[in-house]
Structure 1
Amino acid sequence: MKKHVVFFEVAGGTDKGPDGYRPDTMPMVESLRKRGWTAEVIFYSDEKKDEIFEHVVRSADAYVSRINPGNLKDESTYFQMIRQLCEFGVKGMPHPDAMINYGAKDALVKLRETPLVPEDTFAYYDIASFKENFPKSLKNGERVLKQNRGSTGEGIWRVQLVSDIGEAEEVPLDAVVRCTEAKDNHVEEHTLENFMTFCEQYITGENGMLVDMRFLPRIKEGEIRLLMLHRTPVNVVHKKPAEDTDAFSATLFSGAKYRYDAPEEWGDLVHSFMASLPTITEKLGGYDLPLIWTADFILDTDEQGRDCYILGEMNCSCVGFTSQLSLSEDIADEIINILSQVEAVEQ
């Protein structure tokens, strides 16, 4: 074992501190160094990808990706490089395909056979299927449409039917719908036809898709984010939306209030999620769990009237922990533990 880890960053972006690094990157580097390992930060660029590849293959046991794909001109080139690194024996944290599979909104559709996701959750990969099926799902109640791209609630819409459509089997195209975007809780009213035409932008282009989920009214009680360090729950962030009537967004930008709890305070949620990890791993490609990742949940009520937790999304691209930098010590321990297990298997 070389006992060397590379952290990938990219220059620029709003996630950098005054020194040009993400605020949570150097603490991990220093924590590894305290344990007798070496670590370095490499700023990725397409122009230097071949040089970077050769250096990392030659020197490192693993890479830790700290790049928000939205800060890259072409994320596919970066993913191609780190996929090759994995093929050449460098441990990916995470593997690029795990990053894609866990981060994509249609992970929910892949998990709808589990208790985590309602069965009436759909994904639209082309405009024709969207136009054919969304009027039918909207007939059954309020829906939430989620684009695959974007962040902080952009392109996530709560859709409510305003018009009375009687016993129609699906919502007619001239019906009026009330649409609230999670980005800032602003409200618009459109005909269904016009709104669906607007949403075509989310389906077109690379990785374009829309996920269609039932709206869960208990989002007003707060979204629950579970922060995971590989297989260990670290903390729970309770994100309560603003009190406005239409507000359902749990982003800070929209006025939501955040509270940090210990995992033990959410025992039922943590227990059920941990029990689901083998299924999640299997359904999302069989890759090792990401190093640092999150799962967001919304409270619902099951048929017996008991609380249950519905998975809203997961993220593992570059989850930050700037409010808890001491976590870098645990992360360094886990990196070493993972690589020690890999070495033991290979011997």
Structure 2
Amino acid sequence: MNTTTGKVAILWRGDAEAREKATANNNRFFRVFEELASLGIAAEPAVYSEEMTEDIRAQLLNVDGVLVWVDPIHDGRDRTALNALLCDVASRGPWVSAHPDVISKMGVKEVLYRTRHFGWGTDTYLYSSMDDFSNEFPDRLSRDGPRVLKQNRGNGGLGVWRVEISPSTVGAPSRVRVLHARKGSVPEEMPLSEFIARCEPFLDSGGCIVDQPFQPRLADGMIRCYMGADRVVGYGHQFIKALMPPPPKGPDSVSAQPGPRIMHAATAEAFQDLRNQMEREWTPQLMALLNIDVKSLPVIWDADFLYGPRTEAGKDTFVLCEINVSSVFAIPDQAPAAIARLVAERLRQKVTT
């Protein structure tokens, strides 16, 4: 058996009690712990909260690498303090995946605008000020039909809206129908000016809003393409319900719930066109555009795709709707072993540099 020496920490959010009781076996990452152990890599839990920052800093400075699973926003808290901690730790020797600097490039909605010329792109715009948004969006909505707006940072559908002109509007789009992507949301009708004003906080402090066309094939499901650095490690296909009007029985009914995410291996025949494009074209283009090398790519990340219009030959196309970097879970069965292999590679690289 090919083994690698080294020690890593697996970090996720929790409280002091969870930190005290955490073991390699009593959390959702147990398969990752098992695969690391099979390669001779010691791994330890590192449960994080802002109140325990100094204890966690001391722990992380005593390992060779850190694998991080923490959402951008959780129960009103963001990653500001954690990112500062991880940058400090990385500057002192341990490698961090995903590094906050990489997250700031890949794991934001702005990347949809910056990569709009890739094969996964679509008719995408970016608003960086209220003037831009209020002046440009109404005309675009009137001309192009339903749009999907996304704040730059978020997870779980937070700050993602489907916006379309209300059927009651005649002429200029004075009223809109808005559906938030958060679970349990229902369509709202309101003056367009009110919705624009509601978006102002997302443009504060250097924020932005990304604007894409609504994809008519949303009902065909979303494909989550899981990546280990620059290689596909699996897929998840799910019939999602976000941005689709709830059924007559309401947003909490059984029929309003998303279907299960069906996992597939990287070799799944149905997704080989997507695999080829991700590995041979789109990921290399992304790395070049964002100035990220292979060693800096996250050991696990994903790209979420919706089906775009079919080609004249009837083949599927794919439209990128999000890249997830901060906390990619659940993952396909094959992913923990791929993560462990990548960790082993990075530990060997650390020894030789």
Residue in structure 1 matched with residue 323 of structure 2 by the alignment:
314
- Map 1:255-270 onto structure 2 (within 5 A): 255-258=257-260, 259-263=262-266, 264=268, 265-270=270-275
Distance in structure 2 (CA, Å) of the matches to 1:53 and 1:156: 34
Give the drift of 1:31.
2.9
* Match among 25, 34, 37 for residue 38 of structure 2: 34
Partners of 1:28 and 1:328 within 8 A in 2? yes
SS in structure 1 of the partner of residue 200 of structure 2:
helix
Describe the superposition over 1:285-314 as per-residue Cα deviations: whole angstroms up to 9, x where unpaired: 425211111110011126746421010001
- Map 1:296-335 onto structure 2 (within 5 A): 296-301=304-309, 304=312, 306-321=315-330, 324=333, 327-335=335-343
Are residues 35 and 2 of structure 1, via their aligned partners in 2, closer, same or farther at CA, if it must alter by over 3 Å? Answer: closer
Counterpart amino acid of residue 296 in structure 1: D
Describe the superposition over 1:158-199 as per-residue Cα deviations: whole angstroms up to 9, x where unpaired: 11113232xxxxx45xx2212122223511111211111122
Residue in structure 1 matched with residue 215 of structure 2 by the alignment:
216
Partners of 1:180 and 1:188 within 8 A in 2? yes
Residue in structure 1 matched with residue 47 of structure 2 by the alignment:
43
Structure 2 residue ranges without an equivalent (≥5): none
* Match among 134, 138, 143 for residue 137 of structure 2: 134
Q: TM-score, normalising length from structure 2?
A: 0.82
Counterpart amino acid of residue 36 in structure 2: L
Residue in structure 1 matched with residue 198 of structure 2 by the alignment:
198
- Confirm whether residue 68 of structure 1 aligns to residue 76 of structure 2: no
Are residues 75 and 244 of structure 1, via their aligned partners in 2, closer, same or farther at CA, if it must alter by over 3 Å? Answer: closer
Distance in structure 2 (CA, Å) of the matches to 1:75 and 1:323: 26
Distance in structure 2 (CA, Å) of the matches to 1:253 and 1:343: 53
Are residues 74 and 40 of structure 1, via their aligned partners in 2, closer, same or farther at CA, if it must alter by over 3 Å? Answer: same
Are residues 76 and 240 of structure 1, via their aligned partners in 2, closer, same or farther at CA, if it must alter by over 3 Å? Answer: same
Partners of 1:301 and 1:308 within 8 A in 2? yes
Distance in structure 1 (CA, Å) of the matches to 2:10 and 2:202: 31
Partners of 2:311 and 2:317 within 8 A in 1? no
Q: TM-score, normalising length from structure 1?
A: 0.83
Counterpart amino acid of residue 307 in structure 1: D
SS in structure 2 of the partner of residue 154 of structure 1:
coil
Partners of 1:224 and 1:238 within 8 A in 2? yes
Counterpart amino acid of residue 138 in structure 1: L
Are residues 320 and 299 of structure 1, via their aligned partners in 2, closer, same or farther at CA, if it must alter by over 3 Å? Answer: same
Give the drift of 1:226.
0.9
Distance in structure 2 (CA, Å) of the matches to 1:74 and 1:322: 23
* Match among 283, 295, 299 for residue 277 of structure 1: 283
Distance in structure 2 (CA, Å) of the matches to 1:242 and 1:49: 38
* Match among 134, 150, 157 for residue 153 of structure 1: 157
Residue in structure 1 matched with residue 226 of structure 2 by the alignment:
227
Residue in structure 2 matched with residue 99 of structure 1 by the alignment:
103
Give the drift of 1:73.
4.0
Partners of 1:25 and 1:66 within 8 A in 2? no
Distance in structure 1 (CA, Å) of the matches to 2:243 and 2:6: 52
Give the drift of 1:108.
0.5
SS in structure 1 of the partner of residue 37 of structure 2:
helix
SS in structure 1 of the partner of residue 286 of structure 2:
helix
Distance in structure 2 (CA, Å) of the matches to 1:7 and 1:245: 36
Counterpart amino acid of residue 341 in structure 2: D
Partners of 2:7 and 2:42 within 8 A in 1? yes
Give the drift of 1:49.
3.4
Distance in structure 2 (CA, Å) of the matches to 1:176 and 1:223: 29
Describe the superposition over 1:13-46 as per-residue Cα deviations: whole angstroms up to 9, x where unpaired: 9xx89x6678333432343233322221223344
Distance in structure 1 (CA, Å) of the matches to 2:244 and 2:70: 36
SS in structure 2 of the partner of residue 116 of structure 1:
coil
Partners of 2:5 and 2:40 within 8 A in 1? no
Q: Identity over aligned residues, as a percent?
A: 26
Describe the superposition over 1:58-107 as per-residue Cα deviations: whole angstroms up to 9, x where unpaired: x3221111222324845222111211222223211111111222221111
Give the drift of 1:236.
1.7
Residue in structure 2 matched with residue 124 of structure 1 by the alignment:
127
Are residues 12 and 212 of structure 1, via their aligned partners in 2, closer, same or farther at CA, if it must alter by over 3 Å? Answer: farther
Counterpart amino acid of residue 133 in structure 1: E
Counterpart amino acid of residue 284 in structure 1: L
Distance in structure 2 (CA, Å) of the matches to 1:322 and 1:27: 10
Are residues 40 and 302 of structure 1, via their aligned partners in 2, closer, same or farther at CA, if it must alter by over 3 Å? Answer: same
Are residues 62 and 211 of structure 1, via their aligned partners in 2, closer, same or farther at CA, if it must alter by over 3 Å? Answer: same
Distance in structure 2 (CA, Å) of the matches to 1:303 and 1:137: 25
